[in-house]
Structure 1
Amino acid sequence: MDAVDKQIIRCLQKNARITNQDLAEQVNLSPSPCLRRVKALEKAGIIKAYTLEVDNEAYGLPVTVFVSVQLEKHTQEVVRHFEAQIKQDEKVLECFVMTGKADYLLKVVAKDLHDYEHFVRHSLHAIGCVASIDTSFAYGVVKKTSLLPESY
């Protein structure tokens, strides 16, 4: 991946609906080579998807919760079972495997506190291998981006 590919990615991260013509102009390429590069980035799995960012509150899910989960055991079977259940739960937007005290950090959305309680009681507890749950509610957002740094 060269500097032009990185320019293409940044432009698409800022506006995934940009036309190929406009993208080509922004990265100083003609349209055909630009489109070939985009297709190559998609084929290589560097560009994974084109998504839409939605206002959670306007959508009806204003509560964002970060949930630290510790498992009872760490056998392959328990880990596979937990991860499979989490992948299927649509309230879990993100799940990270962690170092430190917690095994996983989940980003969960809910419509209110009762909805979150229902998630804990009927989804997390139902998994059966959870030793502890530590919940933190986000009450504001300082920064939210998916735009990768320009230089690294």
Structure 2
Amino acid sequence: MALSAKNYENTELIRYIAMDTLDIKILKELQRDGRLSNVELSEAINLSPSPCLRRVKKLEASSVITGYSVTLDRDSVGLGMTVFVDVSLDNHQELATSAFEANVVLFDNVISCHEVSGASDYRLEVVVANLKGYESVLKQIQQLPHVKDIQSNFAIRTVKSGAPLPL
């Protein structure tokens, strides 16, 4: 059975961008190395530079490609401690979730925030230099409106991080 937007209770529309194998190759190469020049990219996917650039521009315009970034070594920049923080709210009404989300996105040390199912409502990924730095962030999280419970899990070692999407 085909799904359509009217099958969903909310009004969000699911948007898919039509892509062919060349578009997928472009995305794989750019995930591997976002600094590739257009010439290098076109050679890697076996396409001439002009059509390659048009495809990249189309992928950017349609928000399939949302930006380019650099990956930093956390230890080298003094943020060697990663803490996964599970946060439970005192209620699940729109006012509570909106207030929490609006505040948590302002925390520089929170590098990801996911609404999750299970025992908690949100999982945050927090990077800090040390325990004293985490204590400071923890106190700020505790003061957010509607926070009921916080559980912290300290990363011992990173096995895999920042992997490309499996296209």
How many Å separate the matches in 1 of 2:142 and 2:155?
A: 22
Aligned to 2:47, what secondary structure does the other structure show?
coil
Q: Point out where structure 2 has 5 or more consecutive residues left out of the alignment.
A: 1-18
Normalised to the residue count of structure 1, the TM-score between the two structures is 0.95
Query: Higher RCO, 1 or 2 (CA under 8 Å, sep at least 6)?
Result: 1
Aligned to 1:41: 59
How many Å separate the matches in 2 of 1:103 and 1:120?
A: 16
Shift of residue 148 of structure 1? 1.4
Aligned to 1:127: 144
Aligned to 2:16: none
Aligned to 1:60: 78
What is the one-letter code of the residue matched to 2:85?
Answer: V
Equivalent pairs, count: 149
Aligned to 1:73: 91
How many Å separate the matches in 1 of 2:91 and 2:68?
A: 37
User: What CA deviation, in whole Å up to 9, does each residue of 1:70-102 have, x standing for no partner?
Assistant: 000111111111001011111100001101111
Higher helix share: 1
Aligned to 1:116: 134
1:96 equivalent to 2:114? Answer yes
Is the 8 Å Cα contact of residues 88 and 122 (structure 2) preserved in structure 1? yes
User: What CA deviation, in whole Å up to 9, does each residue of 1:23-59 have, x standing for no partner?
Assistant: 0011111000000000000000000110110001110
What is the one-letter code of the residue matched to 2:153?
Answer: S
How many Å separate the matches in 2 of 1:75 and 1:149?
A: 35
Normalised to the residue count of structure 2, the TM-score between the two structures is 0.87
Q: Point out where structure 1 has 5 or more consecutive residues left out of the alignment.
A: none
Aligned to 1:56, what secondary structure does the other structure show?
coil
Aligned to 1:42, what secondary structure does the other structure show?
helix
